Structure 1
Amino acid sequence: MHCEGEGGGDGDSDGPVLPVYRNIQDSHGPDSVKRTTKKVTSPRTYRFQGTAVKTSRLRLLGLTYPRTQQQGSFEGVRSGGGGGGAGRIMTPRDCRLQVALVVMVTALLHLSYTWRTDRRPKLFGSKLRLRSLEPAKYRIQKRLVQFHNFFRSKVKPPASNMLAMSWSSVAAVDAQRWADSCQLLVHDDDRGRTVEQFGPCGQNIFVATHQVPWFFAVKTWWLEKDNFTYGGLKNDLTVVGHYTQMVWHSTHQLGCGLAYCAKAKPRPFYNYVCNYCPIGNYLESLPRPYKRGIPCGSCPTECKAKRLCTNSCPYGDLWVNCKELQMAFSSWLCETRTKEGLERLRYCRATCLRDPKVC
């Protein structure tokens, strides 16, 4: 590092007298030390790599460099101030080391401050408390619905009949019961996730060795979109099923549960479960889980945020083939004059009543 003094000469202005040590050649022997004195004006300005610094500031660092008249070189100066106390000779190397030390300490202090004030949420770990993720809390329920509606509104190509989702306490009870069972990546059977008005509900599961935000679990399901081709005939349900259930157009009720499985083998895990009603992922409709078109094109007068429909049915078909039966045996399926006909109607209400809502 080059240290060059500038400003202030050997004038008559008052200033402290500093002892200066000069190596000189003497006829009486090898290098001997001769003590001289020199006035230094206070404060004086010196320059470190082009930056002017006052003498008073240099003294805070233990640095004072008066310029000698001989060849314009710098000489070490005792840093102990006036008086007879002994001090260490400062050299240009000391200058570089001390300035580097100051820069290093400043950088460390800045990094320490940045680390302490960084408010980005921790992705996982013990600091993310389990009770802050429990779906029994209204705040968590609201966020889960918001997460799902956000992703449902972002499908590509856009959907014209995508329903907005809402929370279902009935579906949440079933999801929590299954999460507590601690079955590692095993789905509940249809009877365990059946609700009266919709029949069986769909189910997504996510497991983690640490607590993670619900958004991380939901987005993990959503990212299966990268494996999905709208209208494609080769979509594999095992690699796109979480995504397609999330964006199934007629699904509009959501309930979730979370449990810590401390006794699970081979190691404990956190079990995230969400149930979706009515169920989706019908194989015949898997290539097109929603109708492609302008957002809310199927519900222009009942639209939320210009992206999601709000005209959902309060019930659903309990038989998976109601639409096929209605097309083939309409009068038989939906007739209401016999006990058997009323029974069939109960299982195919959405199809037989032809509700204008999205079912």
Structure 2
Amino acid sequence: MALSLVAALPLDEAQYKEILSMRLKGELEGGISTYAGEVPENAKDGLDKANEFRALHGAPTLTWDKDLEKTARDWANTCKVDHGGIGTGTGQNIYAFSAQLGPKEDYLGDPMRSWYREEPAYAEATRYGEPARWLAETGHFTQLVWKGTTKMGCARNTVACTKSKWRTIVVCNFQQAGNMMGAFKANVSPPSNSYTRA
């Protein structure tokens, strides 16, 4: 069975079902997201999308972490789009929308797709070897698929960001942190052989 990921993300339904089928048969590393009733309903699709992308790179399935979610919410509510509010050993990705999303809208799908779109630039710059320098322009992607990362918690602002052009700020915190120089080759693998870029 050959998976063909053509053109821009997101995956179409047939491609998603093929990945799901491959995972269930054990043909692809990575698992299907599991929920213990703790993942917010409007974040489940985003967690699934993150694990879908991670499976393409042989990374283990992320689990949802309520503590990481809380620190993400606290930081999103500062209305800042720079990194902070996290402790050592925690990675962080931030995404901002100019539109205000409703409280029940899925807020993670677009950020996950946006972060994954950095993959071609990473592949071109590194050929999936160890980068010679920090690549800020692909850091969201590498954190997303970092093999040593096993937990994620995300949130969006729940207060109005009236002094910012951004109305919705999404923060995802990851443990263990990725993007450690000297560890990229071991933690960021090329996509599976069944993945193709158009």
Range of TM-score over shorter length: 0.5 to 0.7
| TM-superposition CA deviations, 1:255-279 (whole Å, max 9, x none) | 00101543224x3421010000111
Q: Normalised by the size of structure 1, how large is the TM-score?
A: 0.37
State which of 132, 138, 158 in structure 2 corresponds to 1:240.
138
Match for residue 193 of structure 1 among 69, 82, 86: 86
Checking the alignment, whether the CA contact within 8 Å between 2:39 and 2:64 is kept in structure 1 is no
Spell out the pairing of 1:63-102 with structure 2 (5 A cutoff).
Answer: none
Q: 1:213 to 1:171 in 2, by over 3 A?
A: closer
Of 151, 159, 163, the match for 1:264: 163
1:1-359 superposed matches below 5 A: 138-155=40-57, 159=58, 162-183=59-80, 185-188=81-84, 192-194=85-87, 199-210=88-99, 211=101, 213-229=107-123, 230-231=128-129, 233-234=131-132, 236-259=134-157, 261-265=160-164, 267-290=165-188
SS at match of 2:174: strand
Q: Distance in 1 between matches of 2:112 and 2:189?
A: 22
User: Relative to 1, partners in 2 of residues 1:236 and 1:224: Cα closer, same or farther, differing over 3 Å?
Assistant: farther
- Aligned-CA RMSD value: 2.6
Is the partner of 2:53 in helix, strand or coil? helix
CA distance in 2, matches of 1:249, 1:141: 21
| Contact in 2 for aligned 1:141/1:167 (Cα 8 Å) | no
CA distance in structure 2 between the partners assigned to 1:203 and 1:141 by the alignment: 16
- The offset of 1:163, in angstroms, is 1.4
Q: Distance in 2 between matches of 1:186 and 1:233?
A: 24
Q: Give 3-state SS (helix, strand or coil) of 1:283's partner.
A: coil
State the partner residue of 1:101: none
CA offset digits 1:305-334 (Å, max 9, x no partner): xxxxxxxxxxxxxxxxxxxxxxxxxxxxxx
Instruction: Work out the number of aligned pairs and report it.
Output: 146
Q: Higher strand fraction: Structure 1 or Structure 2?
A: 1
Give the aligned residue type for 2:111.
A
Contiguous gaps of at least 5 residues in structure 1? 1-135, 296-359
Structure 2 CA distance for aligned equivalents of residues 275 and 290 of structure 1: 18
The one-letter amino acid paired with 2:44 is: K
Aligned to 2:33: none
